[in-house]
A and B are shown apart, each in its own frame.
Chain A
Amino acid sequence: MHNIEFREFKGGLRGMKRFRHLAFFATLATYFVIFMGGLVRVSGAGLGCPDWPKCFGSWFPPTSLSQLPPEIDPSLFNLTLAWIEYINRLGGMVLGIIILIVMVMAIRHFRKIPRIIIPSLVAALLVAFQGWQGGQVVASELRQLYVSIHMGVAFIIVSLMIYITQQAYYLEYPDDEKNSVYPRGIAIYIGFLWILTFVQIILGTEIRSLLEYMPARFPLLPQSSWLGKVGIISYVHATLGIAITVGAWQIASKIFKESKAVSSLVKQGAAAMLFLAFLQVIIGAVLAIVGLPEVLRIFHLWVASLLIGSLLLLYSAFIQYRRSQ
């Protein structure tokens, strides 16, 4: 039995499934591009291509100096860094095309369903903005504020894609949360945890900015001692991280102990939230103890984006539950 919104959809059940799969694929692709962005940052390849949108004046990175145009400083050329940055740009471009297809499908089939069409349009606009803003990041020679905006927009895009995928799922299975019973106020707890996680990400971004000034402020200090010079903010970040994990544990316990007929989506979302919150604290602790190894810095940021995603998924599920009551 499908609802009125489903009847507004002209593509049939198969078309709807296809749209949901595409939106899910776009979500995975966005997470992959976020990971690539982190990799570009920690490997120092942000200026691997010093121009934008081209790379050393061509659409493919040059393989030797002889291919450089005369106006570009040849001392900037590093083939490895150029390719790392180029793959990130290429990934962003492919993602842009996928999100554009999501938008076109949404316009064709879901234009009367605001919870699909609006986020699809906003995501397409944001991905176009993100492409342009990436150029500004390069032009500003990696100004902190611009890099943070670039990351923030990526987080918004991935949140929109999760929301679209989930709403498409609920169009297909509108009764998914109908028989479930969840504890009162659970959506508010999740919302609160989301806000805390968001604050935590901003604190993390601030710490990262402070760390990047360390080589200039303390040129002889080894990387393993940088965190000690960051100050009180790192302790606030660690404490809040533990508080979020305890909160996630409490919420997950409440969901599993005090609910009835928990939907598979909520089960998986709660398990993912708990796993990611724990993982994030472990990665944070290892970062502090071992001395900020680059690969863990990428995962610290990436797991934060996954955690935000799992919280959004749970929040939307509880809203759907409330709607279906």
Chain B
Amino acid sequence: MNSQGKFMKRLIWVSAAFFILAVASLLVINQARRSRNEVPVLGQLPDFTFTERSGRPFGLADMKGRINVVDFIFTRCKGPCPIMATKMGELYKLYDSSSRVQFISISVDPEHDSLTVLQAYAERQGVTDNRWVFLHGAIDSVVNLSENGFKIAADDLPGGHTTRFILVDQKGRIRGYYDGLDDASLGIMKTHIRQLAGETP
């Protein structure tokens, strides 16, 4: 092969390498962008059964078919809970035209937060229907669900509970974590709720 032929062969190889790298990186960049915009499926919640303030059992089956916003609270909390409750209350009002979005507050202080206490707390938050539920369960079960289901550390309860709001979809899958004290983060959650509403349940 003469030197010009060799040169052409090399040029083709180099151009092919550049082309392949360009196409591959375009695909990767697009996939990365899409992955940031989509609401990822982060994991499946395990089955559980707690008691709702009305006394009826409440478990994973009651979450399915609805978009769920979950938080962990306790009624005696003087720290971030009042702000969390206000934010949750605002969301509860925002989505009052539909029962497709359900709000779930799980007590991390079950010894104190009896069903009666939870009932009174719900009334103080202005809850008038079943769209916002308040759950009571044995502390071991609550810790287990928090750590193994929601993947959130549950040390130093009740005071050290998380301030995150967790978005769970119509199939009981975790779709996002948001700062329950931050409006910007909750703004993203609202966008995600809209996206979940468009998904086939």
Contacts and interface: CB of A to CB of B under 8 A. Distances in A.
Partners in one complex: yes
Interface of A: 35, 39, 42-45, 64-66, 68, 70-71, 73-75, 77-81, 84, 271, 294-295, 298-299
Nearest to B22: A295
Contacts of B77: none
A3 B151 CA distance: 67
Looking at chain A's contact residues, is the secondary structure mostly helix, strand, loop, or mixed? helix
A81 B32 contact: yes
B32 A84 contact: yes
A65 B172 CA distance: 13
B21 interface: yes
A57 to B, nearest CB: 12
A84 B27 CA distance: 12
A84 B28 CA distance: 8
A189 B122 CA distance: 80
B151 A65 contact: yes
B174 interface: yes
A85 to B, nearest CB: 10
Contact of B28 (A43, A68, A75, A78): A43
A64 B32 contact: no
A44 B153 contact: no
Contacts of A79: 35, 40
B138 interface: no
Nearest to A73: B177
B35 A74 contact: no
Interface string B20-59: 0110011011011111100010111000000000000000
B45 to A, nearest CB: 10
Given A65-B42, A66-B43, A81-B35, A71 B153 contact: yes
B31 A80 contact: yes
A64 B43 contact: yes
Contacts of B33: 43
A1 to B, nearest CB: 25
8 contacts: A35-B21, A43-B33, A64-B44, A75-B164, A75-B176, A79-B40, A80-B35, A298-B25
